[in-house]
């Protein structure tokens, strides 16, 4: 039994007695001393949370005046655990006791408790709606606005009038299919993480393959069953000797087990070959408690994204999932594979809008790449520049003789690679304003799209099928321009504006539902999860 339960039962009992007396004493008066004191306190308050607006919708009438109302609030706050939020951040366990004490303390204590309880609710609503943590305080790699408060206070106040705290919270909860699926996965993993005695796979010199017969295969069956794969374990025939049960050999790596392994691999962005090698073994051995934390982290990230209607026209790049998604104005969903920044040159989180395309682009080499990648090769052999069709120019774009530059201290020069088959930007660049010089682009290295793990670029995002993507953007914004024809014209650095901007977001999500609705667990390629998890574990100070 929870050690708080006896104290909570005592508090509820005392609160019931006191609150019944308070209701009787109030009689038919329209304005009680509590009402008046509450309105005075609100008028003098300087609060961050919209507490006065909440009470405006209630005509400044208190709500947390009975044990039933406080118990409803506590129950609603406790359910936030299903969103990956800690109910104790909103004083859920102590509210009943505080209510009982306030009832015995007169009007000032009752007003103080009234505001405390409302602040707890409003703080929970705010965190549920747009996240507990401000992501810009965690990373310089965050170039996106935190969502503004986006729920109806009138609807919240109406739900609270009915003591339906679950409905009040639901008004603030992000309204998206992805969020609901993440939340359902969290509840499932929280439940299964309580199971004990499930074995882990031992490290093997050789991979475990279909057709193998070994004790490790039985461990694999148990592990996958623990992770949500049904029907992999059959009954033990020795447990039912009288019915002649003939069960298959659980030590045999059969086709059914291979199919389950492949499903697991796809959900973890691993090569789905049905072979349990080192990477698959490590993913299988991740404790469910760690997956619970991963889901909590990504539910928080989903709250940072705000409510995104599933059918709203937009582009979003799933960085850790290596996919670009485009919801077209007609509702059609188009997606493709991408290559994103390496762990050393992480692609940032960005919210912006696509403004124009560059066709047959030249490439002005960014300072970091110039310093770390190009200059060492130029210092060995200045002929490298001519071999790669790289021009040396000053900051005004005027040509500079490469032989006259001191490459140990190159000073005020830039390197620009001309358009062509060797140019790393390929034939099309998709541009959107941001503070990191990031864009989407073509690439001559098409083979990289075939790899499962694609954190390989210098920060920008390479898009498979970018010419088709660019054509869709033009078509959907009212342009008749034909990308293929314009590229074939061979004009360098042609800028082509979209008639209308198209919203774009680059997000970093290490757990997210796929097209089939199953939650995928991705590698934390940039190591961002720990910072979010740590921030979520910090206590929240309730404030007005």
Task: For 339-391, write each residue's pLDDT tens digit.
Answer: 999 999 999 999 999 999 999 999 888 888 888 889 999 999 888 888 888 88
The CATH number for 524's domain is 2.40.440.10
Q: How far apart are CA 123 and CA 149, in angstroms?
A: 11
Residue 39 in any domain: the answer is: yes
With beta carbons less than 8 A apart as the criterion, state whether 520 and 513 touch.
Answer: yes
Residue 184 in any domain: the answer is: no
Residue 297 in any domain: the answer is: no
Averaged pLDDT of the chain: 89
pLDDT higher than 50, residue 10: no
459, 502: one domain: yes
Could you tell me which residue, 517 or 146, shows the higher pLDDT? 517
Residue 298 in any domain: the answer is: no
Determine which of 65-79, 185-199, 398-412 has the lowest per-residue pLDDT on average.
Answer: 398-412
127, 460, 507, 528: the active-site residue? 460
Spatial CA neighbour of 275 closest among 331, 217, 222, 233: 217
249, 106: one domain: no
How high is the pLDDT of residue 30? 60
Q: Mean pLDDT across the stretch 78-90?
A: 97
278, 375: one domain: no
Angle 343-291-151 (CA atoms, 0-180°, nearest 5)?
A: 90
Determine which of 39-48, 118-127, 153-162, 381-390 has the lowest per-residue pLDDT on average.
Answer: 39-48
82, 228: one domain: no
40, 94: one domain: yes
Q: How far apart are CA 508 and CA 302, in angstroms?
A: 10
44, 108: one domain: yes
Q: Mean pLDDT across the stretch 395-409?
A: 88
Annotated active-site residue 17? The verdict is no
C-alpha atoms less than 13 angstroms from C-alpha of 331 in its C-beta half-sphere: 0
Q: How far apart are CA 69 and CA 129, in angstroms?
A: 23
Task: For 94-141, write each residue's pLDDT tens digit.
Answer: 999 999 999 999 999 999 999 999 999 999 999 999 999 999 988 888
**pTM reported for the whole predicted model:** 0.87
- Structural domain range at position 155: 5-173
Strands 494-507 and 314-318 turn out to be parallel
Kindly state the tokens that stand for 272.
């789905």
Handedness of CA 269, 271, 276, 278 (dihedral sign): negative
Residue ending a domain, among 173, 195, 225, is 173
How high is the pLDDT of residue 395? 86
9, 66: one domain: yes
Task: For 431-475, write each residue's pLDDT tens digit.
Answer: 999 999 999 999 999 999 999 999 999 999 999 999 999 999 999
Residue ending a domain, among 228, 255, 286, is 286
127, 171, 268, 441: the active-site residue? 441
463, 527: one domain: yes
Q: Give the total number of structural domains in the chain.
A: 4
Could you tell me which residue, 364 or 272, shows the higher pLDDT? 272
21, 110: one domain: yes
- What is each CA distance from 414 to 81, 267, 399, 407, 495, in whole angstroms? 53, 44, 10, 12, 21
476, 429: one domain: yes
315, 426: one domain: yes
Q: How far apart are CA 536 and CA 85, in angstroms?
A: 8
Residue 183 in any domain: the answer is: no
Task: For 215-238, write each residue's pLDDT tens digit.
Answer: 999 999 999 999 989 889 875 445
Residue 55 in any domain: the answer is: yes
How high is the pLDDT of residue 172? 96
DSSP per-residue letters across 379-448? HH-TTHHHHTTEEEE-TTS-B--GGGS-TTS--S-EEEEPSSTT-TTTTEEEE---TT---EE--S-GGG
How high is the pLDDT of residue 140? 85
CB-based contacts of 356, cutoff 8 Å, min separation 6: 431, 495, 496, 497, 498
The CATH number for 251's domain is 1.10.101
Kindly state the tokens that stand for 221.
């069956």
pLDDT higher than 80, residue 21: no
25, 152: one domain: yes
Residue 260 in any domain: the answer is: yes
Residue 178 in any domain: the answer is: no
Kindly state the percentage of the chain with pLDDT values over 90: 69
How high is the pLDDT of residue 16? 40
Q: Which long-range contacts (CB under 8 A, 24 or more apart) does 18-26 make?
A: 18/100, 18/103, 18/104, 19/65, 19/66, 19/67, 19/68, 19/99, 19/103, 22/65, 22/66, 22/103, 23/65, 23/66
Residue ending a domain, among 418, 443, 461, is 418
Q: Mean pLDDT across the stretch 275-296?
A: 97
Spatial CA neighbour of 69 closest among 182, 184, 196, 160: 160
Angle 150-354-463 (CA atoms, 0-180°, nearest 5)?
A: 110
């Amino acid at each position: 039994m929870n050690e708080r339960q006896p104290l909570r039962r005592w508090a509820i009992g005392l609160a019931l007695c006191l609150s019944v007396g308070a209701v009787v004493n109030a009689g038919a008066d329209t304005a009680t001393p509590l009402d008046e004191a509450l309105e005075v306190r609100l008028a003098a308050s300087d609060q961050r949370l919209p507490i006065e607006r909440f009470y405006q919708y209630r005509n400044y009438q208190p709500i947390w005046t009975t044990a039933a109302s406080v118990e409803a609030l506590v129950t609603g706050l406790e359910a936030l655990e299903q969103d990956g939020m800690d109910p104790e951040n909103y004083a859920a366990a102590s509210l009943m006791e505080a209510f009982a004490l306030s009832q015995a303390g007169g009007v000032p204590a009752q007003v103080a408790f009234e505001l405390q309880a409302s602040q707890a609710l409003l703080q929970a609503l705010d965190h549920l709606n747009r996240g507990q943590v401000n992501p810009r305080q965690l990373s310089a790699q965050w170039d996106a606005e935190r969502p503004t408060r986006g729920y109806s206070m009138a609807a919240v106040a109406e739900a609270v009038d009915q003591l339906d705290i679950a409905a009040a919270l639901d008004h603030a909860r992000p309204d998206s299919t992805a969020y609901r699926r993440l939340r359902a996965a969290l509840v499932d993993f929280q439940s299964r993480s309580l199971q004990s005695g499930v074995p882990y796979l031992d490290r093997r010199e050789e991979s475990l393959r279909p057709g193998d017969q070994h004790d490790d295969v039985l461990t694999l069956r148990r592990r996958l069953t623990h992770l949500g794969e049904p029907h992999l374990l059959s009954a033990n025939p020795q447990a039912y000797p009288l019915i002649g049960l003939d069960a298959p050999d659980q030590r045999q790596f059969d086709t059914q087990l291979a199919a389950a392994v492949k499903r697991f691999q796809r959900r973890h962005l691993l090569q789905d070959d049905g072979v349990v090698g080192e990477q698959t073994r490590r993913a299988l051995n991740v404790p469910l408690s760690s997956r619970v934390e991963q889901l909590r982290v990504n539910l928080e990230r989903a709250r940072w994204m705000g409510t995104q209607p599933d059918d709203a026209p937009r582009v979003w790049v799933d960085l850790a999932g290596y996919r670009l998604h485009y919801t077209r104005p007609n509702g059609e969903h188009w997606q493709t594979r991408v290559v994103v920044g390496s762990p050393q040159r992480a692609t940032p989180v960005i919210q912006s809008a696509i403004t124009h395309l560059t066709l047959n682009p030249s490439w002005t080499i960014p300072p970091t790449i110039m310093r770390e990648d190009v200059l060492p090769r130029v210092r060995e052999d200045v002929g490298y520049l001519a071999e790669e069709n790289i021009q040396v120019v000053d900051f005004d774009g005027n040509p500079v003789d490469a032989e006259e530059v001191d490459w140990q201290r190159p000073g005020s020069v830039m390197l620009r690679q001309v358009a062509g088959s060797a140019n790393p930007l390929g034939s099309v660049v998709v541009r959107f304003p941001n503070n990191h010089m990031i864009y989407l682009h073509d690439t001559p290295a098409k083979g990289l799209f075939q790899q499962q793990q694609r954190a390989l670029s210098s920060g920008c995002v390479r898009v498979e099928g970018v010419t088709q993507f660019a054509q869709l953007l033009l078509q959907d914004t009212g342009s008749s321009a034909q990308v293929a024809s314009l590229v074939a014209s061979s004009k360098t650095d042609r800028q082509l504006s979209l008639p209308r901007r198209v919203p774009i977001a680059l997000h970093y999500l290490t757990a997210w539902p796929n097209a089939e609705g199953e939650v995928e667990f991705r590698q934390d390629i940039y190591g961002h999860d720990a910072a979010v998890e740590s921030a979520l574990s910090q206590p929240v100070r309730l404030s007005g």
